[in-house]
Each structure stands twice: as structure tokens, then as C-alpha cells.
Structure 1
Amino acid sequence: MNDTDRQILALLRENARMSITDIAKKVRISRATVQKRIEALEVDGIITGYTIRIRPGVEKNRIRAWMSVAVEGAKAPAIVQQLRGEPAVHTLHTTNGKWDLLVELRADNLESFDQILGRIRRIEGINTTETSILLSTRKA
């Protein structure tokens, strides 16, 4: 991967629907070159898919939270597997330091959020959790 590939990736991160022609103009290379580079990035597994971003606040009744999880011993792989099967888990990250996992949770209301917390806290091997509800999000 070179600087041109990085420029293409940056443009696609900003707008995955940007046309090949527009990318070519911005990067100052031919349309055919852009197409070949994107295809190569897909074949190499660097680009694994395309997605949408929903404007914050559109899902008005949606509760989002970060849960930090401390794991007992070497049980992290089993816990990660269980968390991947939990529909409320939106993203799951392994970390270092005090917490072993950082989990983004989503729920429709406080009652279901409470049930989700209970299910996760009962997973064997989870030692401690700390959860913070996200109040607002700002672009960096």
C-alpha cells in the first residue's frame, strides 16, 4: 500500500459512495488507475466492505453505552465469543490496561438495557464491568 492507496482510502472513508471519477480528480490519477487500485485493495482484504453512517440523533430512543470489562485469567476468547452472539453488542474491542474489553452496547429503552447488562454480567469469566451511557457524540 502506498500514498495513493492511502489517499483513495481516506476519500472512501469520508464518502464510500464517491464516484471513481471524483476520486480520480481529487487524487490526480486516471479513472482506470483508481478502479484497479480499489479492486486490488478489495482483493488484498484491505477493503472488506462498504457501509453507511447514520447521523447522530436520528435514532431518538436508542440508548448507547460503553461497557469496560475485566476478565478472569485467560477466559477472554470464550467471553468474546459469547459477546459476539449478543444482539445488543454493536462493537467489541480488546484493550490493555485495567480493562480487557471495551464493548459498545445499544438498546431501545432502559428496561431492555438493564436486561442486557444483567445477561452480560452473568457470563462466566467476567470479573468486573463498568458502564457509561453515551449522552452525545461530536466529530473530532
Structure 2
Amino acid sequence: MTIAKFIPDALDRRIIAHLRADGRASLSKIADALGVARGTVQNRLDRLVETGTILGFSVRVRADHDDFNVHAVMMIEVTGKSTTQVIQRLRGFSEIRALHTTNGNWDLVADICTSSLADFDRVLREVRLIDGVANSETSLLLTTV
């Protein structure tokens, strides 16, 4: 099934919300919670995956059980028209879990996770050495509330 531009409807969004709260929920549990047939949930979920609306399923690990226990957000200013090249370089860092373009004073926001402060320091230095990175500001994430 190829859909040019798939837009999730209200039921799709409810299924996604349920999976965000409990990614291990069975199809039957989701169907019961939403008041629809199990087959409906299966078909909708298949379509959400096939169209790329759902990219995958993951596990959230308690901070004290996470090997990557140093988490930070780095805002990056890029010079001139080098954004594409900077993004390509940043995608090569396994420690950068997500990379976002943004507006305002900063051009990019990087979600960084490392296993130690030494690794974190290394990543910061390497990012700042990339041609086209003009400035950066990094904040460590301390406690999830």
C-alpha cells in the first residue's frame, strides 16, 4: 500500500498516544481501551508503520539503569550556508541521538547521550571543531520530572 500523503486521523492519534504510554501493550489491550476491534487496531498499526508515521518501537530505561547516563542538549549556530555539511558531520556521531533544525539564535539542536563526562567532553570538543560551527551552548539534563 503506497499512500502519497498519509495524515493520521483521530483514531490513529489515539493508538499512537496509547503506544507512547505503553509501547508493550497488546493489540487486544489497545482495542479494549479504545473501544474498537482488534483487527482495526492491527490494520491501523500496520498502516502507521508502512507509511512511516511510526518509525519504530523503543524502550525507555530508568536513568539509574542507563549505560548512557550523561544527557545534554546542545544548541549550535552555523555559519553561512554550511548547514547541510554540518548536519552530515553531526550525523556521524553515535552519541547524538537526535538532531533538529530550529529557529531563533540557534540553527540546530543536538540531543547528546554519553556514558561518561570524559566522553561528553570529547564530543563537545569534536563538534566545536567542525568547519561551519560558529558557536554552541550546551546544557546538561539533570533530572527527568
TM-score w.r.t. the length of structure 1 is 0.91
- State the 4+ residue runs in structure 1 displaced beyond 6 angstroms: none
Give how far 1:108 is off: 2.2
In structure 2, relative to structure 1, the CA distance for the partners of 1:6 and 1:61 (3 Å cut) is: closer
Letter in 2 for 1:14: A
Q: Between Structure 1 and Structure 2, how many residues are aligned?
A: 138
TM-score w.r.t. the length of structure 2 is 0.88
Gaps (5+ residues) in structure 1?
none
Give how far 1:103 is off: 0.8
Q: Which residue of 1 aligns with 2:39?
A: 32
**2:70 equivalent to 1:52:** no
Distance in 1 (CA, whole Å) between partners of 2:43 and 2:76 is 42
2:128 to 116, 121, 125: 121
Percent identical among aligned pairs is 37
**2:94 equivalent to 1:87:** yes
**2:124 equivalent to 1:130:** no
Letter in 1 for 2:23: A
Distance in 2 (CA, whole Å) between partners of 1:137 and 1:79 is 29
Secondary structure of the structure 2 residue equivalent to 1:26: helix
CA deviations over 1:93-114 (Å, ceiling 9, x no partner): 1110000011121222222222
Give the CA RMSD over aligned residues. Answer: 1.5
Secondary structure of the structure 1 residue equivalent to 2:63: coil
CA deviations over 1:60-109 (Å, ceiling 9, x no partner): 77211111100001111111110010122121111100000111212222
Letter in 2 for 1:92: L
